[in-house]
Structure 1
């Protein structure tokens, strides 16, 4: 092989002059930006911005995948979004603050090639901060959860909205030279993201920060693609309109964003469907003489605590004719012979699947049992008769729940009489009382 042939082969195996140095310079710039400046601090700030408010309200979401993802989504969009926008906006204005903006005009690289290495490291760190917070809260709630699981669609759309907001913030920083534009942009974005939540129109679903309730619902399969097309289309439109050599290229993502918005608004609440894995009934193990307790599958770990709280109520109603054979969560329609359980709300009287006030839970359950639900009243204008029924109901509720005292002090003598009754007589009397709950006639309520 001749020397000339060797030189031709070597030249043919090399990239065109200028490409290798440009790629090397790009990788070097990305590594530098990833390790220095505000990019690493942005990731830490995003993680703390999500974890601090979430941890302060851990009692409200620990034990429920839906509640956990609802709180994480709210924090990521309402708090994380403005923070990322401020960070990228500050990064975008760096050349103006250093008075090197004119120097960029002499660089042979395109404006888009200059934007990406400067903005991408901050967005990568912001994504890492979000994923760190997600991992922490998911690990914290996993030991206490029942049926269901986290939604990947929500994770993807939240992450996509953070990245989209970040690119828009960077362009704003490049265009506006005011030093205070970053905090002002964050404040304005917080208002812009949160304001649609107070609107009843389905237009509110265009906001990435729209508050969803995932306790019993999951997104439809096309939720993530359409939401990403909406937020990503807007970000790509802004970025290309600013940095592309041919700004007409911004029309394509703009059309995509408009088409996605045209799907989101008419869909509205139909962006979600009921989660059958969460909504199905799960009941306690059957036991002779003990009514079953049925809750939604996501609250199945609550059953032992609820059964313990109602054990005394079941004991007092044992052998009473007409006593409920089962108790169901308020989200289900009770069948014949079933009563409705008292409310158990995470963060209020339920923490990590344990009732914080079992006595109050038992009292609320008994209250739903003795509730007469008479829309037109008791059917009497006699105040004394109505008062007798009211005091009787209060006395029964107090005795069944084992409360220390009735709500109305005048019912205390009735509680004393009910307590002093022989067990057999009391069971008969309670059977007559429970039968009167189906009627709103005061005369059918037995006297104490």
Structure 2
């Protein structure tokens, strides 16, 4: 009573009225659910940071993939909160207030949805800030974020409808399990057109939505949730038909158009090149600022190939097969292997893979010993494998055949290294003229 009198006195004798949304939003289940979202998604993202931190597209796709965890959780949280009055046995008291059913529903549903959305938004902001220092080109991608946020809110509100309708305590965990199962089956389906109505459908790193896709997905998820709320709490329940019709139309567009609502990111086919080397070195524009690192990693190769003929014009890094006069650059993606947080993890390994790309005999199967000797000598001269010494030591301790093979390889390496500069350039020019050819007769003897 003392606290009430103080509040009345502070307000000039008038009673202080608190909006019901304030009580729901400031304490209880909703803030705890929002905190659980931040902690859970933050832990998952931290554990997988190597595969997304440093790439804007990867960060976007990883955040979008978090919906597979978040949507069932949001639905279960809404369902649990929806059954609160039944568990407390305060349903009759709650129904006796002046406000209508829809207002009472929203007073409970909106704070939880906002807290879950805030948790996801905080996680997305944290992931973006973690990527910013390591990004090596491109720009942040926000094309999926608004619809993802809307999907989280829709799942929470829809789950609360289920919680109010289904008078069963295990309804919330069972709803979560059902959500994980449905989303998982949709993701696993590669050919079903219905997968395109899944708001958590994984998005490839090279894909961006066309203009209609986010709008159609927003109408789909919001329409279903709104229809459920109106069918449960509106005075005129037939009004639920309007958002339901909009959702059906949007879902039909998503299913019928399918892949047509997605296109390849134009940046994927753009290259940033260093034309001062032979071959030239080009990286995908998404990692344009990485070019100096890649050029430095390949400098030992390009320096030793100066003056050599029959080389590709450039190393390229784009989708699809290399064009005439080009050779594929060793893959920088997916992140977490060659590239982690904007840095090449092993420049020596990267350079060795580039030499393998240059000689281009990956599909030849078992090679003629003459070709194998030439390939090994060129590899040793341009960029030896980081594991070369290890395998040489194994062969040195092996049987007589393996020791003899090692002696032949070392002799071939020595012959190439001891050639005069002009003679070596001529031999390498003849060697690269046979690049990609499995015919041993076209490879010069060493």
Task: Name the TM-score class by shorter chain.
Answer: 0.7 to 0.9
SS of residue matched to 2:263: strand
Is the aligned partner of 1:422 residue 2:420?
A: yes
Checking the alignment, whether the CA contact within 8 Å between 1:229 and 1:256 is kept in structure 2 is yes
Describe the shift of the 1:144–1:235 C-alpha distance in structure 2 as closer, same or farther (beyond 3 A): same
Shift of 1:330: 4.7
State which of 250, 259, 262 in structure 1 corresponds to 2:240: 250
- Residues 62 and 433 of structure 1: is their aligned pair in 2 closer, same or farther, counting only changes over 3 Å? same
What's the TM-score once normalised by structure 1's chain length? 0.86
Q: Which moved more, 1:59-68 or 1:113-122?
A: 59-68
Alignment partner of 1:35 is 2:19: no
1:298-337, Cα deviation, whole Å (9 max, x unpaired): 1112212111111111122122222334211153654554
Check if 1:389 corresponds to 2:371. yes
Deviation at residue 43 of structure 1 after TM alignment: 1.4
1:358 corresponds to which of 347, 371, 374: 347
Over the aligned positions, Cα root-mean-square deviation in angstroms equals 2.3
- Aligned to 2:368, the other structure's residue is in SS state helix
The answer for the alignment partner of 2:310 in structure 1 is 322
Question: TM-score, normalised on structure 2?
Answer: 0.86
Distance of 1:335 and 1:396 partners within structure 2:
24
Aligned to 2:444: 446
Conserved in 2, the CA contact under 8 Å of 1:330 and 1:342?
Answer: no
**In structure 2, what is the equivalent of residue 111 of structure 1?**
101
| Structure 1, unaligned runs of 5 or more | 1-23
Aligned residues of 1:46 and 1:130 also touching (Cα < 8 A): yes
Say which is worse superposed, 193-202 or 409-418, in terms of deviation: 409-418
2:137–2:289 CA contact under 8 A, matched in 1: no
1:294 — aligned with what?
282
Residue-pair matches, total: 413
**CA shift in 2, pair 1:332/1:282, >3 Å:** farther
Contact kept? 1:218, 1:274, Cα under 8 Å? yes
Report matched runs for 1:256-405 at 5 Å: 256-284=246-274, 286-287=275-276, 290-331=278-319, 334-345=322-333, 346-372=335-361, 386-403=368-385, 405=388
Q: How far is the alpha carbon of 1:31 from its aligned partner?
A: 0.5
- Verify the 8 A CA contact 2:268 2:319 in the aligned structure 1: no
Cα pair 2:72 2:175 within 8 Å, conserved? yes
Q: 1:71 to 1:224 in 2, by over 3 A?
A: same
Cα 1:392/1:413, change in 2 over 3 Å: same
C-alpha distance in structure 2 between counterparts of 1:226 and 1:356, whole Å: 41
**Counterpart secondary structure, 2:174:** helix
CA distance in 1, matches of 2:415, 2:213: 61
Change (3 A) 1:331 1:301: same
Q: 1:388 to 1:330 in 2, by over 3 A?
A: farther
Between the aligned partners of 1:92 and 1:81, the Cα distance in structure 2 is: 16
Structure 1 runs of 4+ with >6 Å offset: none
Cα deviation, residue 412, structure 1: 3.9
Given the alignment, which residue of 134, 137, 158 partners 1:144?
A: 134
- 1:152 match: secondary structure: coil
Equivalent residues of 1:144, 1:301 under 8 A apart: no
The Cα of 1:225 is off from its aligned counterpart by 1.3
For the 8 Å contact 2:271–2:318, the answer to whether it is kept is no
Q: What pairs with 1:116-195 in structure 2 (closer than 5 Å)?
A: 116-195=106-185
| 1: CA distance, partners of 2:213 / 2:283 | 29
How far apart in 2 are the matches of 1:238 and 1:152?
28
Distance between the aligned counterparts of 2:188 and 2:260, measured in 1?
Answer: 19
Please, which of 71, 80, 87 is the counterpart of residue 90 of structure 1? 80
> Deviations for 1:5-46, whole angstroms, at most 9, x for unmatched residues?
xxxxxxxxxxxxxxxxxxx97x62101111111111111111
| 141-150 vs 407-416, greater mean Cα deviation | 407-416
